[in-house]
Amino acid sequence: MLQTLYDYFWWERLWLPVNLTWADLEDRDGRVYAKASDLYITLPLALLFLIVRYFFELYVATPLAALLNIKEKTRLRAPPNATLEHFYLTSGKQPKQAEVELLSRQSGLSGRQVERWFRRRRNQDRPSLLKKFREASWRFTFYLIAFIAGMAVIVDKPWFYDMKKVWEGYPIQSTVPSQYWYYMIELSFYWSLLFSIASDVKRKDFKEQIIHHVATIILISFS
């Protein structure tokens, strides 16, 4: 059963043009072709990106933030309160007036104290300006380097100036090392963004961001 599914998934007519087989895409005569197995390396590279990002934010972004006078502000923390914490996590972060009165009776606090507790508790969950700066610095640095590197490796290629040359040799086209590593690095970077999305600054378009990362990973993988 599994072998049948495997064979159907890699059915040549599903992936390749007519009169082309997988055997035609075997490496030979110094020509290297893209393979699905190449994608395996992107997962350990994604973990490496997370490590590099950690040290970048610690030793580059944080000192840069200090030079720009971007500091971690001290926020008043909400005192421990099991009743209010349970409501905050399960029912909502901004209780209505009737709920404030009910929580006031349950917790033994005044209505004003309950409102103050929720205000401080919401502030605890808000990412600091420093955290936002570190994350933005990392992404900006990567995208800038990726753009410069991408231009550097393609500017001497004939198809950069003549789009018709993109189709020369199609569908049997090999990859050059610069293309290979550009794809692998880009794909690994987006894997790392997907891995770290739970701990990154949660934006209003959180769901759309996940869809974007997944779509990008799929597009790069299949291209």
Q: Domain holding 120: CATH number? A: 1.10.10.60
Report CA-CA distances (Å) from 135 to 44, 89, 129, 164, 192.
Answer: 21, 26, 10, 40, 13
Query: Beta-carbon neighbour count of residue 187 at 10 Å?
Result: 23
- 159-191 residue pLDDT tens: 888 888 888 877 777 788 888 999 999 999 999
- Predicted confidence at residue 107, as pLDDT, reads 86
- Same domain for 155 and 91, yes or no, is no
Last residue of a domain, one of 60, 95, 125: 125
- Same domain for 202 and 141, yes or no, is yes
- Asked if 194 and 210 count as a contact pair (C-beta separation under 8 A), the reply is yes
- Predicted confidence at residue 2, as pLDDT, reads 76
- Predicted confidence at residue 150, as pLDDT, reads 93
Q: How far apart are CA 193 and CA 190, in angstroms?
A: 5
Number of domains in the chain: 2
Weakly modelled stretches of the chain, pLDDT under 50: none
- Same domain for 184 and 150, yes or no, is yes
Taking alpha carbons only, the member of 32, 34, 16, 10 closest to residue 184 is 34
- Same domain for 117 and 148, yes or no, is no
- Same domain for 199 and 90, yes or no, is no
- Same domain for 37 and 141, yes or no, is yes
- Asked if 182 and 39 count as a contact pair (C-beta separation under 8 A), the reply is no
- Predicted confidence at residue 93, as pLDDT, reads 86
Q: How far apart are CA 25 and CA 64, in angstroms?
A: 48
Burial class (CB in 10 A: 0-12, 13-18, 19+), 110: exposed
- 205-219 residue pLDDT tens: 888 889 999 999 999
- Same domain for 98 and 141, yes or no, is no
Structural domain including 187 reads 24-71+128-222
DSSP string computed for 195-210: HHTTTS---TTHHHHH
- Same domain for 140 and 94, yes or no, is no
Residue 1 lies in a domain: no
- Same domain for 86 and 97, yes or no, is yes
- Same domain for 158 and 217, yes or no, is yes
- Same domain for 171 and 196, yes or no, is yes
